[in-house]
């Protein structure tokens, strides 16, 4: 082999190496980015879960679910006495599931939705059945999937910057992540109202509604976490005592009444009907400005995501277009057994 041929061969080999090195770094970067969507730390006798997608308001991905779910086995560790979950970035605990990605994948014939929701609901159940004290610091936006990661735990700590909602109806989805369990258990018909309207609760009202168990000033949140981490082999009562002390000391909006207090009679009356059609009729007959404001609200999920999150035209074209067109068969189809795929807890 001549010198020129050797040089060409070595040049091609080096180019091949450079290409493979770049591809390797891209793969490693992608893997690292995915791995860092959730930070998992053991601090003393406490397991700390941090949702780490602040640029996306910590929206929940399938990868995040798959990291958090096995980590809840901390409850089986005799050296772990407490689990804390929080969001990075200061703007959101978790703004919900990353449904835009799910909807776009479905349109590309990638069946991600059944897998995502199945594993998300399994995670929600694991939170609800966790045997160790579970403290969710719901600071900032807490909606949909973020509610599922928090509301089923023993302790939910809201701050004045907490913004709670179950906005699923705006995208043609039902209030999932266990919404059918915790919403009806709120005072009166408040849960039905929140489910059907997507009404947003802020700050101390999240506590007053019964969604949060405690309220803490946001400037004290880091101190609260430090005090919880400083506990040695704490009992549930020890943890509750620390949370109660901070809750009692909080002064923000302490003297303000619940934002929906003056409307609770109307909510209890209008939303006590057995069907959505009857609820709408009740609101129309009531005729008050509050009642009329509540009236402004398969294909529907993707169409809702398109209208609200992708094209942002806020004009979804529902199928069917009117409640009167919804048949019993349509309803029954949503409750059909999945056979061996049914979730069993």
Q: Which residues are catalytic?
A: 97, 145, 168, 176
Sheet holding 134-138, edge to edge: 38-43, 46-51, 82-87, 134-138, 155-158, 214-215
Q: Report yes or no: 178 and 129 within 8 Å, Cβ to Cβ.
A: no
Token couple for 165: 């909602």
Whole-angstrom Cα distance, residue 175 to residue 337? Answer: 19
Whole-angstrom Cα distance, residue 164 to residue 321? Answer: 28
Residues in the chain: 345
Task: Tell me the residue ranges of DSSP E strands in 77-145.
Answer: 82-87, 92-94, 134-138, 141-143
Chain centroid, CA 306 distance in Å: 19
Q: Report yes or no: 224 and 243 within 8 Å, Cβ to Cβ.
A: yes
DSSP 244-260: HHHHHH--TTTTSPPTT
Q: Report yes or no: 182 and 153 within 8 Å, Cβ to Cβ.
A: no
Chain centroid, CA 28 distance in Å: 28
Whole-angstrom Cα distance, residue 113 to residue 87? Answer: 24
Ramachandran region of residue 82, left (φ > 0), alpha (ψ -120 to 50) or beta?
A: beta
Q: Report yes or no: 271 and 193 within 8 Å, Cβ to Cβ.
A: yes
């Amino acid at each position: 082999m001549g010198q020129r041929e050797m040089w060409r061969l070595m040049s091609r080999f080096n180019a091949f190496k450079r290409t493979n090195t770049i591809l390797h770094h891209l793969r490693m970067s992608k893997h690292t980015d995915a791995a860092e969507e959730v930070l998992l730390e053991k601090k003393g006798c406490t397991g700390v879960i941090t949702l780490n997608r602040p640029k996306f308001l910590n929206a929940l991905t399938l990868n995040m679910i798959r990291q958090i779910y096995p980590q809840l086995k901390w409850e089986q560790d005799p050296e772990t006495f407490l689990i804390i979950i929080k969001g990075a970035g200061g703007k959101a605990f978790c703004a919900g599931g990353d449904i835009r990605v799910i909807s776009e994948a479905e349109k590309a014939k990638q069946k991600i939705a059944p897998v995502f929701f199945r594993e998300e609901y399994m995670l929600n159940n694991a939170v609800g059945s966790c045997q160790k004290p579970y403290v969710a610091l719901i600071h900032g936006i807490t909606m949909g999937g973020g509610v599922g990661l928090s509301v089923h735990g023993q302790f939910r700590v809201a701050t004045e910057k907490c913004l709670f909602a179950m906005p699923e109806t705006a995208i043609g989805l039902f209030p999932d992540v266990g919404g059918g369990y915790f919403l009806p258990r709120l005072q009166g018909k408040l849960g039905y109202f929140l489910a059907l309207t997507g009404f947003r609760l802020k700050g101390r009202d999240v506590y007053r509604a019964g969604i949060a168990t405690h309220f803490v000033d946001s400037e004290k949140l880091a101190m609260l976490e430090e005090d919880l981490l400083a506990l040695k082999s704490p009992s549930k009562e020890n943890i509750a005592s620390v949370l109660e002390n901070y809750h009692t000391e909080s002064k923000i909006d302490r003297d303000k009444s619940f934002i929906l207090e003056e409307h609770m009679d109307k909510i209890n009356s209008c939303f006590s009907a057995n069907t959505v059609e009857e609820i709408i009729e009740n609101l129309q007959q009531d005729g008050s400005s509050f009642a009329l404001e509540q009236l402004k609200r398969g294909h529907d999920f993707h169409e809702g995501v398109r209208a609200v999150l992708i094209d942002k035209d806020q004009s979804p074209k529902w199928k069917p277009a009117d409640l009167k067109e919804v048949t019993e068969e349509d309803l029954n189809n949503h409750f059909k057994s999945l056979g061996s795929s049914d979730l069993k807890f």
